[in-house]
Structure 1
Amino acid sequence: MRKFYQEFKDFALKGNMIDMAIGIIIGVAFNNVVGVLVKKVIMPPLTLISDGVSLSEKKYLLREATEGVTELAIGYGELIEVLIDFSIITFTVFLVVKFMNRFRRKADDPKDKEIETPKNIELLSNIEKLLEAQNSYLKNKKD
């Protein structure tokens, strides 16, 4: 039990848990922003185009409501709205990852002086140059 507690403490204090919590909080806030964007900005013009029929109210009626029996319907309009939400979130995450990867590639490129190259990449680049010089020297020595 003591080992388990120590592992959990190490996990929580190393920042993994904090990073995860920050990601979840930002994700929830972003989801709310996208939800409002779809419901209040994108859907009203679509409703206007469709002669005032709100997409979220679109459904396929399986059973009408009668006295004592509730209505049974497939709400495909809400599904379409959720798919629009998902598409926007997916596209935004794609753009963020693409943007981050662009900077990561620049940082990993030892020839790019725009962003400071990490020391381990710089050392590997120097080792590579030394090996190339050594190989060319040995090749010339054989000939």
Structure 2
Amino acid sequence: MKKAISEFKAFAMKGNVLDMAVGVIIGGGFSKVVSSLVNDMIMPMISLLVGQISFTNWKWVIDPSKEGLDPIVINYGMFIQTILDFFIIALSIFIMVKVVNKMASRFSHKEQEKAKEEPKPTKEEILLTEIRDLLKAQQEKSAQ
């Protein structure tokens, strides 16, 4: 039992699992925000353009009254709403990923520029350089 708990703890504490859990939680919240954007802001504007008719109320009713059955309702307006939700969520995620990638590339460019810069010489290197220069100067004096 202890081995199973320790294995589960090791699995749960891996970075990828925690990152994924955070992503799922943030994704759920992001989905609610985008759904509200679609339902409360975009769809009213679209319904204004199509004559103030709510998309979600669009349906096709098949009335099988001859057989005495309940009518069959095909809610194609809800389907259109769901497709629009999907495209807006996909567009929002695409834009968010582009922004994050752009920020990451800026940071990586700064790090690359720092890496390209020559590091400052250490005290030992400065001392050794001075000794070398003194030895060269002495050799030049003795050669003359």
Same fold (TM over 0.5): yes
Q: CA deviation at 1:111?
A: 4.3
In 2: Cα distance, 1:70 partner to 1:36 partner: 33
Q: Which has the higher Rg, Structure 1 or Structure 2?
A: 2
In 2: Cα distance, 1:30 partner to 1:65 partner: 42
Match of 2:108 in 1: 108
In 2: Cα distance, 1:92 partner to 1:112 partner: 32
| Bigger relative contact order (CA 8 A; separation at least 6) | 2
In 2: Cα distance, 1:68 partner to 1:37 partner: 42
Q: How many residues align?
A: 116
Q: CA deviation at 1:3?
A: 5.9
Match of 1:11 in 2: 11
Unpaired segments ≥5 residues, structure 2: 119-144
Contact 1:60–1:76 under 8 Å retained in 2: yes
Question: TM-score if structure 2 supplies the norm length?
Answer: 0.63
List, as ranges, runs of 4+ consecutive aligned residues in structure 1 with deviation greater than 4 Å: 1-5, 65-68
- CA distance 1:16–1:111, shift in 2 (3 Å): closer
Unpaired segments ≥5 residues, structure 1: 114-121, 127-143
Q: Aligned residues: percent identity?
A: 37
Q: CA deviation at 1:2?
A: 6.6
CA RMSD of aligned residues (A): 2.9
For residues 7-43 of structure 1, what are the alpha-carbon distances to aligned partners after superposition, in whole Å with 9 as ceiling and x for unaligned? 3221212343332222112111111111111111111
Q: CA deviation at 1:73?
A: 2.4
Partner AA of 1:24 in structure 2: V
Q: CA deviation at 1:107?
A: 3.3
Contact 1:59–1:76 under 8 Å retained in 2: yes
Question: TM-score if structure 1 supplies the norm length?
Answer: 0.64
- CA distance 1:19–1:42, shift in 2 (3 Å): same
